[in-house]
Structure 1
């Protein structure tokens, strides 16, 4: 058996608890991994709350999490390029979580961990940094752009800010006052969130250049109030509210959870072009506290569980 942290029904934090689960056997194309670290993301609590019912089917009890790093302990049939003992990171296979001592990864969505990258940092790549990478490539951000990032102080927002800044683009990062220093360290111009943020964005755009692309990580009314600030409504991407973004002329984002993408992002980390900010690490037995920080929106950058 393996220790895990999951939920037994859709709902609030009262559905969460430590669980004992069977150690799974890898099927064709899969790897069994002894998890060393797991990333904590807003999508984790949204799945628990039932907000992703249409896209993420759940069988109870369910284990939280989608991104991990660890060591391969068994290899399924039809897998090439991996062996027992390899140090890897990747996205968990469908139906399997990351907040656990052992999980399954699809070999096609797994990459070898560079020695220069810690287990904790590697566990932030598949979901948070990988999403940011896909957004920046989808928008085709270049040095002539001014990119507005809504929710710039979280894991994805921090990575988007860094990656867009690395292209030479100007970045306007909307975040709370407590995340001002983080936005600045990532290369962005901090814009305080809350009432009147649109006027603050407009003022900053007069100095940095008109907004040419919007990355939304908040959704709802905030997204509605921002859409008119861009010169090009088609260059609006939202992972928080893709349906609303589409109605406004933009789109959601198609994730590429592939070995190639993970290797490219890890390469950026090795080169120092992307520095995942980990606010704090938590042990598996305290996963509920870690998830509560993310659910409340208070995390500065990433929160990570250390399993081993």
Structure 2
């Protein structure tokens, strides 16, 4: 099969499309014929060799965590799923024609494979970090860098829970944030004062890693009310860096429920063929994404 591989840590050019042995589903796993794979910032952080608090990476390795596809192999102990089922979930080396998933759920009706591949990691991350801030219904959550995949999920999940969200993003994405129920404002010079004018901030999330941790502490008054998924220096200021996944099966169930009820929709900004994984990483690292980027197989 074809698989995107890295033999050394580095820039996008280390991503290589290779011929690889097909993986097989072990106990409690399924294998899918991948139709689309989600592109997440954690992918290029792993590619660069960043220390994210997860298990160490052994090279050479495939890359990618999220996928949507058709089950074509069911491991021992798996019940309720069969060859031919359309699923989305999380696994390993998902930038490939076949991948093994360790957590999965049935694709909600009406989703394309490209759309479905964009949900697993971002919904898990959104649920985890909202919980870690301790923000409650009726309070206000500030989201710095709110227009990407995780931000899109956070805004909609928070709205569903009765939490007010102030989101920062570029000028071109202000209407997008408002469409997701956020109070929108731009980043850049004067952004802290603009946020203050919008009201009290009870908790904050840093999703972009744009050097705003001190300002988020200032706005919330407490580093324990701030969580970052993008600034590895956050712990130096007493802020939690949240880089390790929680319960993916629970997140998939929440995602499927919200999607089926019309409460969660994350658009796909762009899809790329497998051979253009490097371009997907370049665009992801550049930021300013509205929704998700995916690789279509």
Q: TM-score, normalised by structure 2?
A: 0.92
Contact 2:15 2:277 (C-alpha < 8 Å) held by counterparts? no
1:152 aligns with 2:158: no
Q: Which range is displaced more, 237-246 or 63-72?
A: 237-246
1:224 aligns with 2:214: yes
**How big is the shift at 1:113?**
1.5
Task: Give every structure 1 segment of 4 or more consecutive aligned residues whose post-TM-superposition deviation is greater than 3 Å.
Answer: 137-143
CA-based RMSD of the aligned residues comes to 2.1
**How big is the shift at 1:235?**
2.4
Distance 2:5 2:171 in 1: 32
- The runs of 5 or more residues in structure 2 that have no matched partner are none
1:239-293 deviations in Å (ceiling 9; x for gaps)? 2236625843556376334323201211101111111121122222222222211
Cα distance 1:245–1:63, how it changes in 2: closer, same or farther (>3 A)? same
1:97 aligns with 2:69: no
Distance 1:247 1:151 in 2: 19
Cα distance 1:215–1:273, how it changes in 2: closer, same or farther (>3 A)? same
Contact 1:89 1:123 (C-alpha < 8 Å) held by counterparts? yes
Residue number among 280, 288, 292 corresponding to 2:282 in the alignment: 292
1:53-82 deviations in Å (ceiling 9; x for gaps)? 652422333222100011111122232232
**How big is the shift at 1:222?**
1.0
Aligned residues between the structures: 297
Distance 2:139 2:244 in 1: 22
1:209-237 deviations in Å (ceiling 9; x for gaps)? x1011111133631122211015543222
Distance 2:181 2:232 in 1: 26
**How big is the shift at 1:297?**
1.0
Contact 1:214 1:235 (C-alpha < 8 Å) held by counterparts? yes
**How big is the shift at 1:19?**
1.6
Contact 1:237 1:253 (C-alpha < 8 Å) held by counterparts? no
Distance 2:138 2:232 in 1: 25
Residue correspondence of structure 1 range 104-183 to structure 2 within 5 A:
104-106=100-102, 109-183=103-177
1:211 aligns with 2:207: no
Contact 1:10 1:49 (C-alpha < 8 Å) held by counterparts? yes
**How big is the shift at 1:9?**
0.6
Residue number among 245, 268, 281 corresponding to 1:255 in the alignment: 245
SS at match of 1:299: coil
**Which residue number in structure 2 is paired with residue 194 of structure 1?**
188
Cα distance 1:79–1:140, how it changes in 2: closer, same or farther (>3 A)? same
Q: TM-score, normalised by structure 1?
A: 0.89
Distance 2:77 2:236 in 1: 39
Q: Which range is displaced more, 138-147 or 182-191?
A: 138-147
- The runs of 5 or more residues in structure 1 that have no matched partner are none
